[in-house]
Structure 1
Amino acid sequence: PVDLVATATDAWETADTRRGTLETAVDGGDVLADEERLRQLLENLFRNAAEHGGDDATVTVGSLADGSGFYVADDGPGIPEAEREQVFETGYTTTADGTGFGLNIVGEIVDAHGWEIRVVESEDGGARFEITGVESA
């Protein structure tokens, strides 16, 4: 069992999120996961939001309404629908100094846990990563 809010807060502290803001909207809190890998997943999503959403990006970690998992959403420019599947491919990047490994690693962590991930538009028009198949502890 891993406390999702505590892990997200810790990951926020160590990820380069510049002057961004983390918000949480989690019902319950503990999920069955490898804590280190979950933290890495969150750090990578937080860095991605800061990189693409700007220095003052707001990122929200919350529970999915149907209870099947959680999401990480930002208020940045979002990901065009045609590119949403590609973002998890090794080497895919839209920045000159990007490595293309961050979201690929997120995909690998999701797969290793037996979860699924999809990208949709957030309420603020940014990116929203929905991780499903997550068991509550």
Structure 2
Amino acid sequence: MEYRILGETTKWVESHAEPIVDETGTVVRIAGFTHEITERKQREIELREKNERLERFASIVSHDLRNPLSVADGYLDMEREQSDSENLETVADALNRMHTLIDEMLTLAREGQEVTETKPVLLETVVRSSWNNIDQQNASLRIDTNVQIKADRIRLGQVFENLFRNAIEHGGESVTITVDMLDSEAGFYVENDGEPIPDDKKEEIFETGYTTNTEGTGFGLAIIKRIVEAHDWQIRATDAHDGGARFEITGVDFVDQHTVTSQP
């Protein structure tokens, strides 16, 4: 149990205890220990307050921006019934882009929140499920690993989906994407044989709004970074062995295969 100690300064402590029984099963005493967790609780409170601010921001974006957009969509439909002007299609494209930007901003705000629960997941299963959720075009996927890691399965799937789309967008529709484990660190990588990332852009690509595609929003890699950091992992961009782009995710917790009894 956790509780506060109030005094000149407030402290948080955590107690662990369990009953000690004799040969008849009768409880004869309680054994346990208590330790201070003030720093951890402060971090939890700060994270909770941050998440609440992000939720308020998401609600404002969703409500205050979507409502006028819905009005604009309605008037656009009315105008289309009376005219087939190319200008209306330009307006439609602009409104669709605004809808996309709102969706991406909401995702960015929410995915930056703390990951509160992780479970053992089979990496290959998440990768293949994510692959099936995207428009693969003529791209191909290579993966040969059966490791299990601790992660939020849904949000990890979003990481792979965004990395796959990014590879196809920048590497071409026939790009080959490889997912495998890192040799020197606890983690995995996603690389492709398309165009490499310029050295002076390897940090900048993770910034919100950065994109080299005129049709892109610049949120994809920023969302990936938020999800990765919410897991307490790290991500970096580097060069692939075949000259393309490579993303390495480190700090991952692996699961001992012998301790896992079921796959969620």
Give the TM-score of the pair, scaled to structure 2: 0.51
SS at structure 2 position matched to 1:131: strand
Q: Which moved more, 1:92-101 or 1:13-22?
A: 13-22
Which residue of 2 is the match for residue 73 of structure 1?
Answer: 191
Partners in 1 of 2:147 and 2:130 — Cα distance? 15
Amino acid at match of 1:75: D
For structure 1, which runs of at least 5 residues remain unmatched after alignment? none
For structure 2, which runs of at least 5 residues remain unmatched after alignment? 1-119, 256-264
2:167 paired residue among 23, 26, 49: 49
Amino acid at match of 2:122: D
1:127 aligns with 2:245: yes
Task: Give the C-alpha shift of residue 67 in structure 1.
Answer: 4.6
Whether the 8 Å CA contact 1:78–1:121 is kept in 2: the answer is yes
Partners in 1 of 2:204 and 2:125 — Cα distance? 30
Question: Residues 1-137 of structure 1 correspond to what in structure 2 (within 5 A)?
Answer: 1-26=120-145, 28-137=146-255
Task: Give the C-alpha shift of residue 17 in structure 1.
Answer: 2.4
Amino acid at match of 1:3: L
Structure 1 or 2: more helix by fraction: 2
Per-residue deviation, residues 3-62 of structure 1 (Å, max 9, x unmatched) = 111110010111222110000143x41110000000000000000000011111100000
Partners in 1 of 2:144 and 2:205 — Cα distance? 25
Name which structure has the greater RCO, CA cutoff 8 Å, separation 6+: 1
Per-residue deviation, residues 58-115 of structure 1 (Å, max 9, x unmatched) = 0000000025100000011011010000111110000110110110000001110000
Task: Give the C-alpha shift of residue 135 in structure 1.
Answer: 0.7
Root mean square deviation of aligned Cα: 0.9
Partners in 1 of 2:201 and 2:191 — Cα distance? 17
Give the TM-score of the pair, scaled to structure 1: 0.96
Q: Which moved more, 1:41-50 or 1:7-16?
A: 7-16
Partners in 1 of 2:221 and 2:169 — Cα distance? 12
SS at structure 1 position matched to 2:151: coil
Whether the 8 Å CA contact 1:58–1:74 is kept in 2: the answer is yes
Whether the 8 Å CA contact 1:59–1:74 is kept in 2: the answer is yes
